[in-house]
Amino acid sequence: MALLLSLTAGCWKPSQAEVPVCLQDVVGQQPSDIQASTPNTLSLPFRAENLPLLQESWIAYRQRFIQEDGRVIDREDGDRSTSEGQAYAMLRAVLINDPGTFVKTLNWAEQNLIRKGESDRLDQLWAWKWGRNSTGQWTTIDANFASDADIDAATALIFAARRWSCPEYLELAKVKLTDIWNYSTAELADDRVLLPGPAEAFWSQPDTLILNPSYFAPYAFRLFAQVDPEHDWMSLVDSSYQLLEASSDVSAVGLPSDWISLNPQTAELSPVSDSNLQSQYGFDAYRVWWRVALDAAWFQEPQAEQFLRQHLAYLERFWQDGQQIPARFDMQGRAIADYEATAQYATLYPAFALTEPQIAEQIYQQKLVPQYRQGFWDNSSAYYTQNLAWFGLLPPVSPSAQLMQASSS
């Protein structure tokens, strides 16, 4: 199969971070002076009976994990910061109507996660890892980008432009979309696919392209198609579902994998051989349920519900047999962890809410409610769990027309 990699230059490369601030209550303020929203002003773009819980947990997360300057801290991993963490905070902030926190987290990322060349900024994507290096300096640790974070950030910017009537955010989103398309996607024969990061890192051999199924975000690609007609984002919707199906079928029990290897020349999928990456159902793969469930809830996509029904079947049987699901499985469906994970249950909850509501309610009452205490799930250092639990507990419905319709941008 012939392949063509599109890695052309973006159209706008500022020499330094340019962060639009067009919200009336924060214009002219330094990021450290911008005030976060109060409980009285926190609201969702849809009706939610659990709004008080989502408000309380967001405030607790904001106080524990987000510095005054907008840096999101992963307290489980050396107090590092990641593009993922900044993007999650932005997406949560716009959904809960917290423009102050949105501005600060965006500003910190744009100031500190820049991917630099010899003399200028390379693109509008973010370096994925920032923290303390071997000499004790706080700086960029890995300048590679992670496409899921850039996708989540662009989604948040589109929503922010619409929710807060801020067209400057939409312009920044469009610039990022150009670089996501140019640097984070590849054309394989007639199919365009999402890369997890730079081609040189994940496609170093002609016959081996490493993919992360949990990065596929069909709902986001639909939003991108609304605002960026210059690129065929709907082709990524199609390839995402094709690869989600095919990669899950590599598992003997139909589970998605953290990482998978694609041979672009034969279209064959197989477990990865890189010792640093694992082909197993684990903490990365959990997000497949969440992202596909969003496509079903936000865009009523039948293919999304079909995927969930088919590929949740093994975990559904596990749950019915013992009311618990191990945190990790190998490609043969054997449990390789003797513990459970609240993060997994958090992503299974919205998925089962669409396919088996009774199981979703059981998971909520037995696995999510008992793990929530004083604003946190599990413990106050569990960064990843806080985010997946919060996203997972959003009502499985489409946000307001203001956020979802292109005419509102």
Range scoring the smallest mean pLDDT among 34-43, 57-66, 68-77, 135-144: 34-43
* Active-site position among 84, 123, 228, 258: 84
Say whether 148 is catalytic. yes
User: 113 with 176: CB under 8 angstroms?
Assistant: no
* DSSP structure string for 140-168: EEEEEE-HHHHHHHHHHHHHHHHHTT-HH
Copy the structure tokens of residue 237.
Answer: 């919707």
**Rounded to 5 degrees, what angle do the CA atoms 105, 150, 401 make?**
80
The answer for residues whose C-beta is within 8 angstroms of residue 232's C-beta and 6 or more apart is 192, 225
Beta strands 114-116 and 121-132, pairing class: antiparallel
Domain residue limits, the chain: 3-11+37-397
Per-residue pLDDT band for 27 (boundaries 50, 70, 90) equals very low
- Rounded to whole angstroms, the Cα distance separating 382 from 53 reads 17
Do residues 282 and 328 lie in contact, with contact meaning Cβ atoms separated by under 8 Å?
Answer: yes
Whether residue 24 has pLDDT greater than 60: no
What does the radius of gyration of the chain's CA atoms come to, in whole angstroms? 20
Distance CA(202)–CA(307), nearest Å, equals: 26
Confidence class for position 227, pLDDT limits 50, 70, 90: very high
At residue 132, the 3 state secondary structure works out as: strand
Q: Give me the pLDDT at residue 25, please.
A: 44
Helix (H) or strand (E) holding 332: none
Q: What is the pLDDT of residue 275?
A: 74
The helix/strand/coil state of 4 is strand
Beta bridge partners of 343: none
In angstroms, how far is CA 96 from the centroid of its own chain? 17
**One-letter amino acid for residue 219 of the chain:** Y
- Alpha helices (H) along 96-138: 99-112
Query: Which of 148, 179, 258, 284 is an active site residue?
Result: 148
Q: What is the pLDDT of residues 46-56, one digit of tens each?
A: 999 999 999 99
| Amino acid letter, 365 | Q
Q: Quick one: fold of 3-11+37-397?
A: Glycosyltransferase (1.50.10)
The answer to whether the beta carbons of residues 318 and 325 sit under 8 Å apart is yes
| Catalytic (active site) residue 232 | no
Report how far apart, in Å, the C-alpha atoms of 217 and of each of 223, 346, 350 are.
Answer: 10, 18, 15
Give the pTM.
Answer: 0.92
How many angstroms separate the CA atoms of 332 and 325, rounded? 15
* Dist CA 174 CA 151 (whole Å): 11
pLDDT tens for each residue of 243-285? 999 999 999 999 999 999 999 999 999 999 877 899 999 999 9
Q: Please tell me the total number of residues recorded for the chain in this structure.
A: 409
